[in-house]
Structure 1
Amino acid sequence: MIKIGDLNLGEFPLLLAPMEDVSDPPFRAVCKSNGADLMYTEFISSEGLIRDAAKSVQKLDVYDYERPIGIQIFGNEISSMREAASIVEAAGPDILDINYGCPVNKVACKGAGAGILLDIDKMVSMTAEIVKAVNIPVTVKTRLGWDENSIRIEEVTERLQDIGIQAISIHARTRKQMYKGEANWKYLADVKNNPRIKIPVFGNGDIDSPEKARIYRDKYGVDGIMIGRAAIGYPWIFNEIKHYFSTGNLLAGPDLEERVAVAKRHLDFSVEWKGEKLGLLEMRRHYTNYFRGLPHFKPYRTALVTTEDYPGVVQILDEVSKVFAGAEF
């Protein structure tokens, strides 16, 4: 069994990746109901938390039905990260996760996220301070390195383990790659084969099907898989992977009725959490993925992303059910 602290995550957990503007409570709710074993919040700015910024504070919202749940923070100042860690612990998550992997310029070029991969000593010092500041398990999400010439992921994992982190998730790309090119899981196998590494190692990058999940599990020996982009508009991927692992057979994909039902459930959570105006607005990014592969869907997508009242959106989704009844994906 894979454990983080006292949390038992089963034999091979599937994790939902923390994704900015995606991994909010409504999205996490539909992923949890479709088989995600451990989820993380969107990353939260440490500076925003210590300054009590409304957007940052709202991201602390976690609910009992999500558990186990981790809250993820990022920043480049050790004192701010330590203070933010205490704020996070007070919000009641099961895990505190540190983002050392975000590659976007506005984060990495300020020395936060993947930017800290240019200063491993600071990365270790910051992590040690956070581990000392809280009484909940601390985990880390990171990348292989800044670029292909600075990959030190085995050393990084050893040093972070030695100062007390209890699991690590590794996106198998460098910061320079961003999200392009193929993820190189060979380095994850090297970490797992290192006899000094005792903490769980979760792999992230390019897993978009049950078949690929099994191949990568068996080939690279990771303790679990973290899924990001493949779950957007397709939360069913978690249960599909689990079914394939246990039976060797592929589950039939969700039909139109199921897609509409889950999109509605997601919409309801979104409106309930953020209010009608913002809830409708933030839901718009998901419709294309929920109905990907549905022919002639574009006019309905346009209607869904321009309609400004909740009853109107529900009416359009009901119309999609009727117009496309029996459609295959």
Structure 2
Amino acid sequence: MTDKEKQLIDHLRRLKQVQPDFAYLKSFKRVLENRIVLDVKSEPIFFFRAFRLAASFGVFLLAFMGLGFGMVVATQNIPVDTFLYPVKLVGEKIQLGVQSFDAKSRADLKLKFALNRLSELKDLEENNLNDPSKIKALLDGYNQELSGIQNEVLRISVERDGETLGYLLEVESRLENISGELKVLRFDSVVPEVYLDAENFSSFMKELVSRKIFEYETKNRIFADDGQKWQRAMNEFLRLRSRGQMLAFSLNSSLSDGLKTTALELTESGEPLVTPQPENTSLTLDNLRSLNQELDSWQVSFNALSESGSDEDLLKLFDSLSEFEARLAEAETLLK
């Protein structure tokens, strides 16, 4: 959102306190409707040109003062293939500026807007409007909303407050539903790269929220009542295992040819390593070897406990994963 738009939204908040002149608004609305009709007849309005129009100061002001905030919300029903569609996007920006007070409320709205983009894509699909430029714009808009959700989720504190855990579970569920909506669309052949980016971003966001829940459970020593606590532990284990393997490959690429196989053994056989030079590399490889063995032991314990283990058993496994992550971070620091 630009500074100009932020300033406008601040003005709009103040305008909400002003009592409207309904007679004036009614007459002004007629003028606006006539002006729209004249504009449509005199000059065609194309998709991206309309986007630029929608971002202007005048459209913000007319949308809010001429129609009122209730009507701005009503613009959410405007179809994507009409020339008024940019007003819908303006309405979303106004909602975000006026109705969002904290990270949770902003994330709520952005989840709603992300689903709007998918609903619009579905409308295009049902009407056989396979315009690559429109599809790409909507998928880009979807990714932009997910990026905003990512920022808001990262801001959410994992301090125990009685509401955060339930809220994160709700976000996780809504992201799962949104991801499901994306998968049923068939635009992957029209804009394959953009569609793949959207799918990957959806998967990343679900993992991010799952990790946030894991952090909350670990720190506050409680578990969400969603039946996924053991699965979250396994997901975290797989993430750390993959991170360790990537670090080993990174080390391998920096070693001389005679030492490369030592790092590769971490991701293949796990056999004892020849100690290479320099010292930091040697220390890092030793740490990775030890960590690799402990991760193997962790998986054995997890498999034995996952069917009948207690919450206390799971908390111990969680704590081990947190320790593994700290050691991986230390190994990465040694290589900087």
TM-score range, shorter chain: under 0.3
TM-score (norm 1): 0.25
Decide which structure has the larger Cα Rg and report it.
Answer: 2
TM-score (norm 2): 0.25
Bigger fraction of residues in strand: 1
